[in-house]
């Protein structure tokens, strides 16, 4: 369990953040400028905050009260930067080995061959970073961090510099990292779908402060916490693949509620997390019939949050979990929606974007 508490005053901006990162992926989630990267740099030691404590168990990286300020090279972290930052004068193989060379001899190490296989970079080993594509560079950067025998992996928006196709290429590697590597990961993102797919724990930040923290489904399903704005709101459901239909649809089971999604790449039995964007959800007081939309989730209104504009955010408790719906205040009034009332959430199958459906996640599987 990583415990972080940092305070630092910049000109016109004060960071005052404290949170706990249990094992798995903890995503620092918020708009750009909310202080996420500053927190990660403080954990890495690239920024020495005015005051604070950063510790993993009884191993303190920083404790200003006790006068502990470990320099970056003694923190044993694997930092994956947004821009890769591979060493241009070294080959991919030398880049990968760089960190291991400085790690203590008795440190638990990842096997080079296993990491190379995991990331699919075996054919790149003798090349130099200058000859790699953006996605390849980032995969090597992940491997370099992983092979430095880190106690914690930091990732600062590692996909932000990539185009959509490359993002889709790299994201599964982070899912595998989460599921197959024991090292905890602190991951910075402002992308709702990355958070939905990767996060075990979400730490929502705004203006240098932590506004919410907790398990991903809980924080993302809370209509009062919108670190990326109401437009990006969306809850996360976990569901098990039941079968793949011949028409290309994938039938999932979310706690007894059937869900039909366009993604058909997973085998039956696999557990997926599905992000349902709030603006893709339609609400109906009665169970609709003769509708083209395939997914209808019955539920009870938990909470309603009017926004600054004409919209309102409705949190609905369904058997499958919390669903957020963004509808107009006018509709809410016409329908007479209020907390405690029953209603149905309607989600078009095709509205669920492929990047919003994540790979298996062991800690939710059983």
Q: Which of these ranges, 99-107, 182-190, 245-253, 291-299, lies near another protein under the rule CB under 8 A?
A: 99-107
Whichever of 145 and 324 has its CB closer to another protein, that residue is 145
User: If DSSP states are collapsed to H, E and C, what string results for the chain?
Assistant: CEEEEEEEEECCEEEEEEEEECCCEEEEECCCCCCHHHHHHHHHCCCCCCEEEEEECCEEEEECCCCEECCHHHCCEEEECCCCCCCCCCCHHHHHHHHHHHCCCCCCCCCHHHHHHHHCCHHHCCCCHHHCCHHHHHHHHHHHHHCCCCCEEEEECCCCCCCHHHHHHHHHHHHHHHHHCCCCEEEEECCHHHHHHHCCEEEEEECCEEEEEEEHHHHHCCCCCCCCCHHHCEEEEEEEEEEECCCCCEEEEECCEEEEECCCCCCCCCEEEEEEEHHHEEEECCCCCCCCCCEEEEEEEEEEEECCCCEEEEEEEECCEEEEEEEEHHHHHHHCCCCCCEEEEEECHHHCCHHHEECCCHHHHC
Instruction: Please say which residue, 128 or 231, places its beta carbon nearer to another protein.
Output: 128
- Considering beta carbons, is residue 70 or 181 the nearer one to another protein? 70
Task: Using CB under 8 A, pick the residue from 18, 48, 70, 103 that binds another protein.
Answer: 103
Shortest Cβ 99–another protein spacing (Å): 4
Judged by CB under 8 A, does residue 10 bind another protein?
Answer: no
Q: Which of residues 30-49 bind another protein (CB under 8 A)?
A: 44-46
Q: Residue 73 CB, nearest distance to another protein (Å)?
A: 5
**Binding map of another protein across residues 133-152, x = CB under 8 A, - = no contact:** -----------xx--x----
Q: Which stretch binds another protein (CB under 8 A): 122-130, 187-195, 311-319, 330-338?
A: 122-130
Smallest gap from Cβ 293 to another protein, in A, equals 48
User: Which residue in 194, 180, 182 sits closest to 358, CA to CA?
Assistant: 194
By C-beta, is 127 or 209 nearer to another protein?
127
Q: Between 88 and 340, whose beta carbon lies closer to another protein?
A: 88
Using the minimum distance from each CB to another protein, give the nearer residue, 98 or 175.
Answer: 98
Candidates 131, 265, 300, 362; binder of another protein (CB under 8 A) is 131
Smallest gap from Cβ 184 to another protein, in A, equals 16
Q: Which of residues 64-93 bind another protein (CB under 8 A)?
A: 71-79, 81, 83, 85, 87-89
Residue numbers of the site for another protein (CB under 8 A)?
Answer: 44-46, 71-79, 81, 83, 85, 87-89, 98-99, 101-103, 128-131, 144-145, 148, 154
């Amino acid at each position: 369990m990583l415990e972080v508490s940092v305070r630092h005053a910049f000109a016109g901006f004060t960071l005052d953040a404290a949170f706990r990162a249990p094992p798995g992926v903890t995503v620092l989630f918020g708009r750009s400028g909310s202080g996420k990267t500053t927190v990660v740099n403080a954990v890495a030691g690239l920024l020495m905050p005015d005051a604070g404590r950063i510790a993993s168990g009884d191993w303190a990286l920083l404790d200003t009260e006790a006068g502990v300020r470990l320099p970056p090279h003694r923190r044993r972290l694997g930092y994956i930067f947004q821009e890769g930052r591979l060493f241009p004068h070294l080959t991919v193989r030398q880049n990968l080995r760089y960190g291991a060379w400085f790690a203590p001899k008795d440190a638990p190490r990842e096997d080079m061959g296993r990491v190379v296989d995991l990331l699919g970079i075996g054919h790149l080993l003798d090349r130099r970073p200058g000859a790699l594509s953006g996605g390849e560079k980032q995969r090597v950067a992940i491997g370099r961090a992983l092979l430095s025998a880190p106690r914690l992996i930091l990732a600062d928006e590692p996909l932000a510099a990539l185009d959509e196709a490359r993002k889709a290429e790299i994201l599964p590697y982070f899912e595998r990292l989460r599921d197959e590597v024991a090292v905890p990961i602190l991951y910075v993102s402002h992308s709702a779908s990355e958070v939905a797919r990767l996060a075990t724990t979400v730490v929502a930040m705004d203006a240098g402060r932590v506004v919410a923290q907790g398990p991903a489904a809980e924080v993302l399903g809370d209509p009062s916490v919108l670190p990326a704005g109401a437009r990006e709101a969306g809850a996360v459901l976990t569901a098990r693949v039941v079968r793949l239909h011949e028409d290309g649809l994938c039938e999932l089971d979310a706690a007894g509620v059937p869900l039909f999604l366009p993604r058909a790449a997973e085998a039956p039995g696999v557990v997926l997390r599905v992000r349902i964007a709030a603006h893709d959800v339609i609400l109906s007081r009665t169970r609709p019939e003769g509708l083209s939309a395939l997914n209808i989730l019955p539920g009870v209104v938990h909470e309603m949050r009017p926004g600054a504009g004409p919209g309102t955010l409705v949190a609905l408790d369904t058997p499958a979990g919390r669903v957020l719906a963004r509808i107009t205040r006018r509709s809410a009034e016409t329908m007479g929606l209020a907390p405690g009332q029953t209603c149905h959430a309607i989600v078009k199958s095709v509205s669920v974007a492929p990047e919003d459906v994540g790979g298996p996640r062991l800690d939710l599987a059983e």
